[in-house]
């Protein structure tokens, strides 16, 4: 179908005949003229129909909002239309009619409640400010992918139906796999580490991760998108450097493509300055205890305690050197103090965006870590085997994509950064 985007007509100052394909947002029929306010994925325009010039103009005036039409016409550059683009129609083809009333308005002055919006996501995302979130997400991921590519990473795809838990035994969705029981993968952790034994050196994956977490919060989903890396002959410091740079490149790409639209919709994102500050778990504990709250070594931070730490930093920072008892079996204990680990979380203000670490690469230590965590190593034979025949030292991390978009766009709820959220009560649409 031959068509121009509205934004291209403006940007390229296209002269003469133009073809656009659009949704009708509003119709006003005056004495001599009909004005249509129309929208495509790139912006809005006014279509002017001079009465008596089109065979089907009555039918067009009667179309419900959100019907889809193709317009052939001339761009009137002198038009005073406040939308900036006014196309004088020469031919209009009706591509599809919408029913009325709409289950959700596209330009209602008062926003509908969140459930109504999510139930009617196909219309909700027609709103330019909602579509922008997913355009930003795509562009940011493209910037991150370009960075990985420049660093000789390969993109991999590991199984999502698995036989063992990775991030602890709880929070697993089970699936019937013929005559066996299987699970939906919580993270590519075990497979990305096995790939280090394959000699693939630097891998990344962008894929779904499933967590059967019971709590319904503004930060948790039961299915989210995990951006994972794993790197051979690397430690936690190397992994943190890859993380800072990946985020920097993602944000740069996003700003280079969307800054106008972001400004228009009140999304302000600063360029990322690296390296990010680092604070140890023990230093955080001191801050919290100094603020009059009590945190024992090995306890996780409460949301209020994270606020105390977040108030000290503006934007991204790492919390490093987490206690061994708090990190999964695959995390490398600090050689000089095994009560701590070579691990990190990347935070943005008070929210965790990424977990990562240097991994245990010695199979005996790994088996011991399984036992310490109350796990049965024999259930992980396929994983431990890959450590017994030449596993290089390695490190990696995972970013929750929706959390990253949520904090960058300043969204109040992670579901706003998820096309079709899966949470404790929602699996439709
Ligand atoms: P972790 O479990 O911390 O680490 O997850 C990594 C990142 O994924 C995001 N995340 C979530 N996002 C939305 N809803 C959830 N329920 C949810 N759970 C996690 C967060 C989090 O920081 N295997 C390790 C990573 C590694 O060490 O490589 C892991 O999965 O942004």
Q: Answer whether 357 contacts ligand 1 (Cβ < 6 A).
A: yes
State how beta strands 154-155 and 202-210 pair: parallel
Radius of gyration, CA atoms only, the chain: 26
Laid out side by side, the sheet with 161-162 consists of 161-162, 180-184, 174-177
The residue whose CA has the least distance to atom 20 of ligand 1 is 400
Query: Ligand 1 center to residue 4 CA distance, Å?
Result: 41
pLDDT at 10: 85
Q: Which residues contact 168 (CB under 8 A, 6 or more apart)?
A: 328
Q: Answer yes or no: is pLDDT of 168 > 90.
A: no
pLDDT at 79: 74
Q: Which residues contact 122 (CB under 8 A, 6 or more apart)?
A: 429
The residue whose CA has the least distance to atom 22 of ligand 1 is 354
Q: Answer whether 397 contacts ligand 1 (Cβ < 6 A).
A: yes
Per-residue tokens: 74: 């001339």
Q: Which atom of ligand 1 is nearest to the CA of 229?
A: 28
The mean predicted confidence, pLDDT, of the chain is 95
Q: Answer whether 167 contacts ligand 1 (Cβ < 6 A).
A: yes
Query: Ligand 1 center to residue 231 CA distance, Å?
Result: 18
Per-residue pLDDT tens over the stretch 269-324: 999 999 999 999 999 999 999 999 999 999 999 999 999 999 999 899 999 999 99
CB 45 within 8 A of CB 87: yes
What whole-number distance in Å separates Cα of residue 251 and Cα of residue 228?
A: 17
Q: Residue 401: which pLDDT band, with cuts at 50, 70 and 90? A: very high
Per-residue tokens: 11: 């940007």
Q: Answer whether 353 contacts ligand 1 (Cβ < 6 A).
A: yes
pLDDT at 165: 75
Grouping H, G, I as helix, E, B as strand and the rest as coil, residue 58 is helix
The residue whose CA has the least distance to atom 10 of ligand 1 is 400
Q: Answer yes or no: is pLDDT of 379 > 90.
A: no
pLDDT at 114: 97
CB 67 within 8 A of CB 97: yes
Regarding predicted confidence, which is higher, 109 or 333? Answer: 333
Q: Answer whether 400 contacts ligand 1 (Cβ < 6 A).
A: yes
Share of the chain above pLDDT 90, in %: 91
CB 90 within 8 A of CB 128: no
Q: Which atom of ligand 1 is nearest to the CA of 354?
A: 22
Q: Residue 215: which pLDDT band, with cuts at 50, 70 and 90? A: confident
Q: Answer whether 211 contacts ligand 1 (Cβ < 6 A).
A: yes
Residue whose C-alpha is closest to residue 355's, from 325, 309, 322, 384:
322
pLDDT at 76: 81
What whole-number distance in Å separates Cα of residue 111 and Cα of residue 127?
A: 11
Query: Ligand 1 center to residue 220 CA distance, Å?
Result: 10
Catalytic positions, written as ranges: 211, 213, 219-220, 352, 355, 403
Q: Answer yes or no: is pLDDT of 5 > 90.
A: yes
Helices (H), 323-374: 363-372
Query: Ligand 1 center to residue 348 CA distance, Å?
Result: 14
Per-residue tokens: 203: 């891998």
Backbone phi, psi, residue 399, to 5°? -100, 140
CB 126 within 8 A of CB 108: no
Looking at residues 204-212, what average pLDDT do you find? Answer: 97
Q: Answer yes or no: is pLDDT of 15 > 90.
A: no
Q: Which domains does the chain have, with CATH numbers?
A: 6-96 (2.40.50.140), 123-277+313-417 (3.30.930.10)
For a pocket test of ligand 1, which of 354, 369, 401, 413 has the largest count of ligand atoms closer than 8 A to its C-beta?
A: 354
Q: Which atom of ligand 1 is nearest to the CA of 226?
A: 8
Looking at residues 318-339, what average pLDDT do you find? Answer: 97
pTM for the full predicted model: 0.96
Q: Answer yes or no: is pLDDT of 417 > 90.
A: yes
Q: Which residues contact 296 (CB under 8 A, 6 or more apart)?
A: none
Per-residue pLDDT tens over the stretch 62-86: 999 999 999 999 988 777 677 778 9
Per-residue pLDDT tens over the stretch 220-234: 999 999 999 999 999
Per-residue pLDDT tens over the stretch 237-279: 999 999 999 999 999 999 999 999 999 999 999 999 999 999 9
Q: Answer whether 97 contacts ligand 1 (Cβ < 6 A).
A: no
Q: Answer whether 398 contacts ligand 1 (Cβ < 6 A).
A: yes
Angle at 376 between CA 370 and CA 378, to 5 degrees: 105
Q: Answer whether 75 contacts ligand 1 (Cβ < 6 A).
A: no
């Amino acid at each position: 179908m031959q068509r121009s985007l509205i934004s291209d007509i403006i940007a390229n100052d296209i002269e003469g005949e133009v073809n656009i394909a659009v949704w009708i947002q509003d119709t006003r029929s005056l004495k001599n003229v009909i004005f249509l306010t129309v929208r495509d994925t790139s912006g809005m325009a006014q279509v002017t129909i001079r009465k008596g010039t089109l065979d089907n103009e009555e039918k067009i005036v009667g179309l419900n909002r959100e019907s889809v039409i193709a317009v052939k016409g001339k761009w009137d550059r002198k038009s005073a239309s406040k939308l900036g683009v006014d196309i004088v129609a020469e031919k209009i083809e009706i591509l599809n009619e919408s029913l009325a009333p709409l289950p959700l308005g596209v330009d209602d002055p008062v926003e509908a409640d969140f459930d109504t919006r999510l139930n009617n996501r196909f219309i909700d995302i027609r709103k330019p400010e909602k579509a922008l979130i997913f355009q930003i997400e795509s562009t940011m991921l493209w910037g991150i992918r370009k960075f990985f590519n420049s660093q000789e990473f390969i993109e991999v795809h590991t199984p999502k139906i698995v036989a063992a838990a990775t991030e602890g035994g709880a929070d697993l969705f089970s699936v019937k796999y013929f005559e066996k029981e299987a699970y939906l993968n919580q993270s590519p952790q075990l497979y990305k580490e096995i790939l280090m034994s394959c000699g693939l050196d630097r891998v990344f994956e962008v894929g779904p991760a499933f967590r059967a977490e019971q709590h319904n919060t503004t930060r948790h989903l039961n299915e989210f998108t995990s951006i994972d890396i794993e790197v051979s002959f690397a430690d936690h410091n190397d992994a943190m450097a890859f993380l800072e740079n990946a985020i920097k490149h993602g944000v740069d790409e996003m700003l280079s493509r969307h800054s106008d639209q972001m400004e228009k919709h009140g999304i302000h994102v600063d360029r990322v300055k690296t390296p990010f500050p680092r604070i140890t778990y023990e230093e955080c504990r001191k801050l919290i205890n100094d603020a009059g709250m009590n945190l024992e070594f090995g306890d996780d931070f409460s949301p209020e305690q994270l606020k105390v730490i977040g108030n000290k930093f503006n934007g991204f920072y790492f919390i490093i050197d987490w206690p061994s008892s708090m990190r999964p079996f695959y995390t490398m204990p600090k050689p000089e103090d095994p009560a701590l680990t070579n691990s990190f979380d990347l935070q943005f203000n008070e929210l965790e965006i990424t977990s990562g670490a240097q991994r245990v690469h010695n199979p005996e230590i790994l088996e011991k870590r399984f036992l310490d965590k109350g796990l049965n190593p024999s259930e992980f034979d396929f994983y431990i085997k890959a450590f017994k025949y030449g596993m290089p030292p390695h490190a990696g991390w995972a970013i929750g994509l929706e959390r990253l978009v949520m904090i960058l766009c300043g969204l109040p709820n992670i579901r706003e950064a998820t096309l079709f959220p899966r949470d404790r009560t929602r699996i439709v649409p």
